[in-house]
């Protein structure tokens, strides 16, 4: 059984694959925040995702069929991004195999507190201050910046990864956070700037 908030086709808005067409499968639920505003004092204080409630899928076959339908099965270069807030609470080998059978490459965006299953083509870890990181290898490290207790240097020491990006924290301080992220990337050219371009152009 899988609990899914939404499935939709869009353009990946951030990180290494920004600009690439993708189906997003957003799972319901997170292990760092309940989704309720009264719990904002939890580890992940800045989440901007509505992941509560959703639709239940009985098995991997039904969910993979829904993902294929969202893509339009006649089109090639299939790419699915499993996100949530924390997709690894639900993503398993059966679902990965099912979407592979439909010809999808699989990407995952995770907070790194749960070990990732095998056969994922692109694993992006976005660590949160105060959380226990167990997934120590990734294809991409994407750090929301700034975070007290999670500096870029500390994040890089936790996760072995050659592709590192800094993403300005959204909210009332977005302008100053963006300026700080730009300055950091200029001073540290092995890091790249990641912007949430989907918000700028008005898509999900």
Give the residue with greater pLDDT, 35 vs 173. 173
Select which of 25, 47, 161, 185 is catalytic: 47
CA 140/CA 202 separation, integer angstroms? 25
Query: What domains sit in the chain, N to C, each tagged with a CATH number?
Result: 2-201 (3.20.20.70)
Query: Which residues on neighbouring strands pair with residue 7, listed in sequence order?
Result: 25
Whether 47 is catalytic is yes
Select which of 85, 109, 139, 140 is catalytic: 109
CB 113 within 8 A of CB 139: no
Q: Is the peptide bond before 104 cis (omega within 30 degrees of 0)?
A: no
Whether 109 is catalytic is yes
Locate 138 and state its tokens: 């990734």
Euclidean distance between the first and the last CA atom of the chain, given in angstroms as a whole number: 25
> Above 60 in pLDDT, residue 41?
no
How does pLDDT run across 109-132, given as a tens digit for each residue? 999 999 999 999 999 999 999 999
Closest CA to 45 of 129, 125, 167: 129
Find where tokens 């699989």 sit.
Answer: 106
* Model pTM score: 0.90
């Amino acid at each position: 059984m899988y609990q899914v908030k939404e499935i939709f086709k869009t353009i990946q808005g951030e990180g290494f694959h920004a600009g690439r067409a993708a189906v997003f499968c957003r799972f319901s639920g997170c292990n760092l925040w309940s989704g309720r505003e009264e719990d904002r004092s939890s580890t992940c204080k800045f989440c901007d995702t509505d992941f509560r409630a959703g639709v239940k899928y009985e098995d991997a076959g039904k969910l993979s069929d829904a993902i294929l339908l969202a893509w339009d099965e006649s089109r090639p270069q299939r790419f699915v991004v499993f996100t949530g807030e924390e997709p690894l609470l639900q993503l398993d080998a059966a679902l990965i195999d099912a979407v592979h059978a439909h010809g999808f490459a699989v990407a995952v965006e995770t907070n790194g507190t749960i070990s990732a299953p095998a056969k994922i083509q692109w694993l992006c870890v976005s660590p949160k201050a105060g959380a226990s990181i167990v997934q120590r290898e990734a294809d991409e490290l994407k750090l929301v910046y700034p975070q007290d207790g999670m500096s870029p240097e500390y994040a890089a020491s936790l996760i072995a990864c050659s592709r590192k990006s800094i993403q300005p924290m959204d909210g009332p301080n977005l302008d100053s956070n963006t300026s700080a992220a730009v300055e950091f990337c200029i001073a540290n050219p092995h890091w790249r700037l990641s912007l949430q371009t989907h918000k700028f152009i008005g898509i999900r």
